Structure 1
């Protein structure tokens, strides 16, 4: 299944032979029955000379990629070797593909065969994802990440943005799994390799050797492990590489990682706090500059934030992105996420009923969506306790500065931040994450639109039976508090704001509460809700985009891009354009709309990977749809 299809792969069919897993689908063993761990250490860790290369690796991240995650044995063994290595880079990024992932229970049983891997196994199993096709980013330890790609290996790796330092080719044997060991796969592997990239595999089959040589690898045979006579080790020769050029390279990424281990973030909302979290984890010095003196104010300032996927009857880029973001956010928020479930009322009109019917027939798993008469239930959705999150993550901010930044200037590799003409800060890496303020601060035009939202913290005179989040255009979130069963967050409006008001705080309006209550007139508990009083009110301006997707990535030289792509509207598909040029050290994360708590964790880690020079944890086609330059590219494609 293609990684950009909203679908789920079938799990591995496992037989057990003396407790060891055996693939019924491919009629092959997962690892050497005599000593699987010793085989991994000999073939893959030794074949790529990882322990010695880690000592001399010039970069901050070392990237290993594998075809065939299987039982996870190679991954766990590499993690253990990494932890035991005295000298190594700052982080290990492990990427692995898998067509038919094992179930969590099959992994657990298999890992019990290797007592020395148990601690790492538990860290993996705690986060082990569903069989949803596509990318899954797992943070195993602060310095070890796993990017698990579920689906066809070639299709998944074609969606990868990054460079690989060492390859493990460990799919089932070429005779039993010929579709994997293809020329297309070897070409993709070559495209993700550099002049220092090595490769190792347990097989010495002629098809594999010739395929690697044709793709640009210098191949040598070495004695195999155990009873295997030979195995292959290889090194990539970049001089032989023939890259397929992108004729319209309008969505660039930084060519090299940031040199300084510090980052400045403009904005202390959920986007900014997530950025501080991920950069602090890797030892960066984090500075947040915000008009408020504490995080999670303005559009992030509600006591609870609803979090759910966005599911559509047909696969859409929007649905694919938000499903990945939702899965990731659940893991990142941990105990701050309350898995209450969400019930959405589909609506009795024709459009609502049609959507309900289509989703009921979509074949999505029950743990993601359950359909009943006039209702959609999301069992794994819920809400985020924002007060608990603030207390938990505030320690990730090394320096909090309270300024209202009015301008940004760049010179000599530095970004200078000004407040009413006075310079208050300068830095080499700057991320603009200031909601609507990002529009006026960005040197690249961003078509952000302002939407006014209001919520009310209600207390009812009588307890209600509502124990999960309800969604019916507006939402109702049951909150903890005394007396129990009386506290609810009612929200939220989503009104257009005129240009004069889009950067300013808006006053509370009683009509907003009445409009949000009106959504619940048919609910059995409406009489109790209608008698509620408001303990607190909150209004904020949200920043959204015309395509309802966030803006995340490097800002580019807009004037140069407009000049270079001025004739794009002529539609000359054969014409080659120069690459768009990123502004050095300047990034943006904004346009999150009403889904900021859902999308911010994945986007923050995506930006962290980009700035740190690591492979991006999101499919290339999804990276394009959130790139800041997409609006300029679309505008230039239109006829004059």
Structure 2
């Protein structure tokens, strides 16, 4: 049983179904990908750090897993495309790991310093001081809701919408799930909680005095519009691929109406659980674009007066890594989580689903064992014990 039908829940269900499980997926919404995974479009790109920190290595494993899943399930060029991503270093220089003579830095094929030609194509070559940027050839854009739908459509998965789980209760056979009126929604020997920030409340409904997962709400809003509505000068200044580094800018994929769109964002507001679209956040996104791509930001400024918006609440953990798998096999046997993906759900959800399945099956980890251990949810239950 999986609770949550976004990127996290659908990835968990897919990985388990591929191993022969019969999986039910419950969600309060009437359609999948109704929460943070309903983002119109977003980026899959590696994280870079001068010391090639664990997050950077985990992100590369996540990009590899996600690109393979996208290629297997979705049409290239329609729901995703491996265009590469230009990362402009606006606020600080995010340097690549150093290369010792005769020793690679592990970044071959992943990230390189952007060439002057790429900066020129993004109209960044005339900025002062000189602009610094990275090129991620394996970067891609994707429409996350389409991946959610494709993963849930796999054999062995049953989707159940309109099922709002309010409480969990252990039973001799496993777990029972109840709605707010106390009606039993489902029973199963194994449950995976993958409902984002709502996981905190679901864990608190059990016999644990408070949730062992220090989940924090993280609201984000993107602004978007149709390419055809942009002035000709703005359309001529569009970069040929997505750009990130201070928010992100994407364009060319089909929007909700089927017409090509542009999208800018996202804002980050900790502790806010509202999904209401605000004019203040449209202004914040315009300011981000102005810093990321100054000439384009100026040319697109009028477009933000009629911009449409999308907002949702993600959730994060203090160490910026997701929580995956069993929390406490003794106290909560059969209860697992997949949450805390934050702003990296597009990059890490597929990998996290594979980590969950590997733990359940005792399989080799889908990435370096030390890195896999850093993703396991039980790191928090160990800390919460006296």
Place the TM-score, normalised by the shorter chain, in its bin.
0.7 to 0.9
- The separation in 1 between residues aligned to 2:300 and 2:142, in whole angstroms, is 22
- Aligned-pair CA distance for 1:467: 2.2
| Structure-1 residue corresponding to 2:64 | 327
- After superposition, the Cα gap between the structure-2 partners of 1:358 and 1:346, relative to the gap in structure 1 and judged at 3 Å, is farther
C-alpha distance in 1, partners of 2:307/2:20?
41
Matching residue of 1:461: 231
- On the 8 A contact 2:223/2:285 being kept in 1, the answer is no
For 1:412, which of 149, 152, 172 is the aligned residue? 172
1:451 aligned residue: 218
Q: Is the 8 A contact 2:49 2:96 kept in 1?
A: no
Q: Answer with 1 or 2: which has the greater Rg.
A: 1
| 1:487 counterpart residue number | 261
> Deviation per CA, 1:350-380, whole angstroms, max 9, x where unpaired?
xx23x33766888454521121451111111
What TM-score does the superposition give when structure 1 sets the normalisation length? 0.50
Match of 1:430 in 2: 191
| Aligned twin of 2:281 | 512
Distance 1:446 1:303 in 2: 29
Counterpart contact for 1:340–1:383, Cα < 8 Å: yes
Equivalents in 2 of 1:390, 1:430: separation in Å? 19
Partner of 1:341: 84
Return closer, same or farther for 1:484/1:278 CA change in 2, 3 Å cut-off.
closer
Which residue number in structure 1 is paired with residue 343 of structure 2?
A: 594
Q: Deviations over 1:205-244 (max 9, x none)?
A: xxxxxxxxxxxxxxxxxxxxxxxxxxxxxxxxxxxxxxxx
Q: Check the 8 A contact 1:340/1:379 in 2, yes or no.
A: yes
| Structure 2 residue ranges without an equivalent (≥5) | 115-130
Q: 1:278, 1:608 within 8 Å by CA — same for their partners in 2?
A: yes
For residue 225 of structure 2, give the secondary structure of its aligned residue in structure 1.
Answer: strand
8 A contact 2:324–2:376 mirrored in 1: yes
Q: Hey, what does 1:314 align to over in structure 2?
A: 51
Equivalent position of 1:386 in the other structure: 144
Task: Report the Cα offset of residue 449 of structure 1.
Answer: 0.6
TM-score, normalised to structure 2, is 0.81
1:135-154 equivalences in 2 (<5 Å): none
The answer for the alignment partner of 1:471 in structure 2 is 244
SS of the residue corresponding to residue 16 of structure 2 reads helix
Seen in structure 2, the aligned counterparts of structure 1 residues 473 and 414 have a Cα distance that, compared at 3 Å, is: same
Residue pair 1:403, 1:419 contacting (<8 A) in 2 also: yes
**1:538 maps onto 2:307 in alignment:** no
- Residues 287 and 526 (structure 1), Cα distance of their counterparts in 2 relative to 1, 3 Å cut: same
SS at 1:595 equivalent: helix
Aligned to 1:294: 31
C-alpha contact (below 8 Å) 1:453/1:494 kept by paired residues: yes
Structure-2 residue corresponding to 1:622: 371
Write the mapping of 1:232-247 to structure 2, written as runs, cut at 5 A: none
User: Is the contact between residue 249 and residue 289 of structure 2 (CA under 8 Å) also seen in structure 1?
Assistant: no
Superposed CA offset, 1:531-561 (max 9, x none): 215564211111100000000010216xxxx
Matched length:
342
Distance across 1 between alignment mates of 2:364 and 2:244: 37
Note the aligned Cα RMSD (angstroms).
Answer: 2.6
2-structure distance, mates of 1:429, 1:486: 42
Q: CA deviation at 1:387?
A: 4.6
Greater percentage in strand: 1
Q: Would the alpha carbon gap of residues 606 and 358 (structure 1) be closer, same or farther in structure 2, given more than 3 Å must change?
A: closer
Classify 1:268/1:413 alpha carbon distance in 2 versus 1 (closer, same or farther; 3 Å).
same
